[in-house]
Amino acid sequence: MQKVIDLRLDVPATTDKIIKKIRSIFFEEDAHGPSNYRRIFGPRWAAVMGTSLEEIDARRRDLSEAEFSSMLAGVAEMLTVSPEAFIAELDRAGIEWCLVSSDSLDETAAFLQRWPGRTRGFANINPFNGMQAVRDLERAVKELGLSAFYASPFDWKIRADNALFFPLYSKAAELDIPVFIYTAMNYNTELPMDLARPLYLDPVAMAFPKLKIVADCGGWPWVPELVGVARRHPNIFIDTRSHRPKHLITPGSGWEMLMQFGNTLLQDQVVFASGADDLGLPVSQLVEEMKALPLKELVMEKWLYGNARRVFKLD
């Protein structure tokens, strides 16, 4: 069986966290920019819940707040996955280990300690905290056992090349851990669309040529630009998290250049990150879709396994 490493899954959420996520997706009509996610992702998540967006809205109108909250709790309980079931799904997908995250560094660390060898963790650190952020990253790696840093222009509303991130990049280089950087458009119409454009990785890679950088989410819709940046910098890797693998070969989808170069000149710089939690699909299904891509056998091994080991310097 083809070995697989998945570089993006979430620590299994509690029922309370799932309720919070459902509310954030469906009921932020007054938060003008963020509510755009309801329009785009709401139907998909409603289907995962076994209903429709219209039915959810109808229930919200017809039920009391207590009744509606009870309904959400029941749905969330059905969607809750135990840690044991999470690991069983990794087994079904043939995943040797995965990179996980949660809202809390300590929660992530606790999950890693429970499943040593099957999980690694990354830290999402607030860059606005200055030197405290640098100390938090050092603690996350040296004391909590986390293995990567996540820099999110989307979460913190600053570009990847913003000076606030640079002390954290420097500390990551010192700690010899990879940096994952959100690199794609966003649907929050209160933020600039190009906040996480691939071009902004160029100054980071220039400043830290030995730092392993993973461009998260594949750079869409600027895929050719990300391919160019990765060709320019061999320390930049690309994942396509939260995009279904089968869509990478859909004509006109915008992924054509990644498929061409990823199968040839960039074959050593693409890694697999399912983002199964964002897609609401079993990770085993996404692994099978990835395996169905028209890649050369050696390239498939690199995308699914070998390149991730290089990112974490395991070879």
Reduced to 3 states (helix: H, G, I; strand: E, B; else coil), residue 157 is coil
Q: Where in the chain is the domain with CATH 3.20.20.140?
A: 4-12+82-311
Closest CA relative to residue 289, chosen from 241, 260, 248: 248
Q: What is the pLDDT along the chain (315 residues), one digit of tens a residue?
A: 789 999 999 999 888 888 887 777 777 655 566 677 777 777 877 887 788 888 888 887 888 888 888 888 888 888 888 999 999 999 999 999 999 999 899 999 999 999 999 999 999 999 999 999 999 999 999 999 999 999 999 999 999 999 999 999 999 999 999 999 999 999 988 899 999 999 999 999 999 999 999 999 999 999 999 999 999 999 999 999 999 999 999 999 999 999 999 999 999 999 999 999 888 889 999 999 999 999 999 999 999 999 999 999 997
Residue count (the chain): 315
pLDDT value, residue 298:
98
- Alpha-helical regions (H) of the chain: 15-26, 36-48, 53-62, 65-79, 83-93, 105-114, 131-142, 153-156, 166-175, 201-207, 223-232, 256-262, 276-279, 283-291, 297-301, 307-311
Q: Do residues 270 and 311 touch, judged by C-beta distance below 8 A?
A: no
pLDDT value, residue 29:
55
Distance CA 240, CA 272 (A): 7
pLDDT value, residue 251:
95
Closest CA relative to residue 187, chosen from 38, 305, 303: 38
Closest CA relative to residue 171, chosen from 201, 144, 211: 211
Distance CA 49, CA 43 (A): 10
pLDDT value, residue 32:
63
pLDDT value, residue 52:
87
The predicted model scores a pTM of: 0.93
Closest CA relative to residue 185, chosen from 225, 235, 236, 127: 225
Q: Two tokens at 3?
A: 């070995």
**CATH node for 4-12+82-311:** 3.20.20.140
DSSP annotation string for 247-267:
GGGSTTSS-HHHHHHHTTTTT
Q: Do residues 99 and 276 touch, judged by C-beta distance below 8 A?
A: no
DSSP annotation string for 47-107:
HHTTS-HHHHHHHHHHS-HHHHHHHHHHHHHHH---HHHHHHHHHHHTEEEEEEE-S-HHH
